[in-house]
Amino acid sequence: METQSAIVRPVRDVDAEALGRVHATCWHETYDHLVSSATLANLSPRRMAELWTHWMNQGDDFVQYAALVDGEIVGFAGCGPARDDDAPRERELYFIYLLHAYHGTGIGQQLFDAAVGADPVYLWVAEDNPRAHGFYRRNGFVADGAAHDEPFLGETIHEVRLTR
């Protein structure tokens, strides 16, 4: 796919509904092979929008960026203080998602660069997500040996920790 440019900017309160829709779609696209279709069917864009409203009001240590193409949000990323007791870095990349139609366009890299830049960070990623692992490898991340089962909509996803 050809390189495409997006406008990447901090999320705004008015973005919650659009972010909820995009987040729900991205979870369907990313996790359909890891959790049951019945579980994903219960995923509500409205509930995701409510979560976004909560996340946006966590304080200045938490940063979230949205990527827009032609005025529409197509992806997002967020990071903040480490959440693990044994955190290998002070900052954690909590999430980065991009609609499948925009994979391979460079927009994911734009989001990543806005959210964490060259900072030392860590993240958790589904063990069975080869595309994400490739992206993080290109950005200097390596598995540090930590793994856990993360609750996800009433099921679990096996995740591994990557550190840079």
- Digit-coded pLDDT (tens) for 8-25: 999 998 999 999 899 888
Classify domain 7-163 at the CATH topology level.
Aminopeptidase (3.40.630)
pLDDT-derived band of residue 39, with 50, 70 and 90 as boundaries? confident
| Distance, first Cα to last Cα, the chain | 27
Average pLDDT value for residue range 60-89: 94
Whose CA is closest to 143, among 125, 119, 120, 116?
125
Model pLDDT, residue 1: 57
Q: How confident is the model at residue 57 (pLDDT cuts 50, 70, 90)?
A: confident
- Residues 114-156 pLDDT 10s: 999 999 999 999 999 999 999 999 999 999 999 999 888 788 8
Give how far the C-alpha of residue 113 lies from the chain's centroid of Cα atoms, to the nearest Å.
Answer: 13
pTM: 0.89
Residue 122 structure tokens = 């860590």
